[in-house]
C-alpha cells in the first residue's frame, strides 16, 4: 500500500504543479492541462517508434517539446486575451482542451497503448528503505516530483526571473508599470507547466499505459492543487500524499469505483472549510 500511495502521490504532485505555476503567475485556471498530459503519452510513443529514440532520450525531448508548445500556446491563444476577463481566458483553455482531445482521438483512434511493453523498457523492482519496493520507473517518478518541486521553489525564491514572476502574481499591472515584461513571465509559466505535463506523461506511459481517459487522471491533479492551495508550490506534495492515501485506502477497503470520487469529495470538504487550500493565500482566492 505504501508503494502505491508514494507513486500515485508523486504523479498527482507533478500534475498539480502544472496547474499551480500557471495560476499563481497569471490567475488563469488551465483546463487544457489534463488533455496536454493525455496527448503527451501518445506523442512520446509515436516519437520513440518513428525515430527509434531511446526512452532516456525521450524524457529531455518531451521537456523541450512541452516548453516550446507552452510558449506557442501562450503567444497564440493567451496573450491576445490580455485585458479580457479571467473567465474568458479560462473558457479559451476549455476550448483548447477540447480541440486537443479531438485531434488525439482522430490521430490515435482512442487506442490503449502500453509503451513500456512495446518498447521493451527495463523496469526492474528496487528494494528501498523500510521494505518499500518500487520499480525503476516508479523511483524516477518519485525523484522527479521532489526535484521539480525543489527546483520551482528555488527558482521562485532566488532567481531574478522567479522574483519577477512573484511580483507579477501579486499585481501584474503594477509589475508592468515598473518595467517588468509580464508577457515573458506568463509565457515562461506556460512553458514550465506544459513541459512538466509532457514529461510526466512520458514517465506515466512508460510505467503504465496511454489512453484517452488520462485527462481524468490529470483532473484529480487539479483537485490536489486546489486542496494544497492554487498559489502554493509547497502545498502540492502534502496534498498529493493526502489524496493518494485516501484514494488507495478507499480502493482497497471500499471499492475501486468509490475511490475515483475520493479526490473530489476531499476537494469539496476543503473548499467548504478552507477555500484557499491548506497552504494557499486567502487574499488570492478573495481576489478571484
- pLDDT of 115-158, one tens digit each? 777 777 777 778 777 778 888 888 999 999 999 999 999 999 99
Whole-number Å distance between alpha carbons of 265 and 228: 14
Question: In this structure, what are the phi and psi dihedrals at residue 179, rounded to the nearest 5 degrees?
Answer: 95, 10
Q: The cell 521553489 sits on which residue?
A: 153
pTM of the model: 0.90
Give which of 62, 72, 20 is closest to 39, Cα–Cα. 62
Residues 149, 141, 264, 90, CA torsion sign? positive
Sequential pLDDT tens for the chain (288 residues) = 788 899 999 999 999 999 999 998 888 889 999 999 998 888 888 887 777 777 777 788 888 989 999 999 999 998 888 777 778 888 999 999 999 988 888 888 778 888 777 777 777 778 777 778 888 888 999 999 999 999 999 999 999 888 888 887 777 777 777 778 888 899 999 999 999 999 999 888 888 888 888 888 888 999 999 999 998 999 999 999 999 999 999 988 888 888 888 889 988 998 888 888 888 887 555 444
Whole-number Å distance between alpha carbons of 44 and 102: 18
The CA-to-CA distance between both ends of the chain, in Å, stands at 38
Whole-number Å distance between alpha carbons of 243 and 21: 20
Q: How far, rounded to the nearest angstrom, does the alpha carbon of residue 233 sit from its chain's CA centroid?
A: 12
Whole-number Å distance between alpha carbons of 161 and 30: 22
Q: The cell 469539496 sits on which residue?
A: 268
Whole-number Å distance between alpha carbons of 227 and 87: 21
CB atoms within 10 A of CB 135: 17
Could you tell me the CA-to-CA distances from 7 to 32, 50, 139, 141, 200 in Å, in that order? 23, 29, 8, 7, 12
Q: The cell 501579486 sits on which residue?
A: 170
Amino acid at each position: 500500500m505504501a508503494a502505491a500511495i508514494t507513486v500515485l502521490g508523486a504523479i498527482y504532485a507533478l500534475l498539480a504543479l502544472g496547474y499551480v505555476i500557471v495560476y499563481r503567475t497569471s490567475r488563469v485556471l488551465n483546463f487544457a492541462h489534463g488533455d496536454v498530459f493525455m496527448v503527451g503519452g501518445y506523442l512520446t510513443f509515436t516519437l520513440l517508434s518513428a525515430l527509434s529514440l531511446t526512452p532516456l532520450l525521450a524524457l529531455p525531448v518531451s521537456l523541450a517539446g512541452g516548453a516550446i508548445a507552452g510558449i506557442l500556446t501562450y503567444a497564440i491563444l493567451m496573450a491576445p486575451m490580455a485585458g479580457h476577463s479571467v473567465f474568458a481566458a479560462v473558457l479559451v483553455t476549455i476550448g483548447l482542451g477540447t480541440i486537443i482531445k479531438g485531434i488525439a482521438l482522430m490521430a490515435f483512434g482512442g487506442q490503449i497503448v502500453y509503451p513500456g511493453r512495446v518498447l521493451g523498457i527495463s523496469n526492474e523492482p528496487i528494494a528501498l528503505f523500510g521494505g518499500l519496493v518500487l520499480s525503476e520507473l516508479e523511483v524516477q517518478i518519485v525523484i522527479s516530483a521532489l526535484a521539480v518541486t525543489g527546483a520551482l521553489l528555488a527558482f521562485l525564491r532566488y532567481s531574478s526571473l522567479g522574483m519577477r514572476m512573484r511580483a507579477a502574481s501579486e499585481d501584474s499591472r503594477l509589475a508592468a508599470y515598473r518595467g517588468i515584461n509580464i508577457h515573458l513571465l506568463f509565457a515562461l509559466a506556460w512553458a514550465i507547466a506544459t513541459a512538466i505535463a509532457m514529461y510526466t506523461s512520458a514517465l506515466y506511459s512508460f510505467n503504465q499505459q496511454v489512453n484517452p481517459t488520462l485527462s481524468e487522471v490529470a483532473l484529480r491533479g487539479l483537485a490536489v492543487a486546489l486542496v494544497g492551495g492554487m498559489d502554493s508550490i509547497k502545498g502540492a506534495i502534502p496534498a498529493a500524499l493526502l489524496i493518494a492515501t485516501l484514494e488507495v485506502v478507499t480502493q482497497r477497503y471500499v471499492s475501486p469505483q468509490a475511490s475515483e470520487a475520493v479526490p473530489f469529495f476531499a476537494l469539496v470538504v476543503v473548499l467548504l472549510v478552507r477555500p484557499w487550500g491548506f497552504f494557499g493565500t486567502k487574499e488570492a482566492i478573495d481576489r478571484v
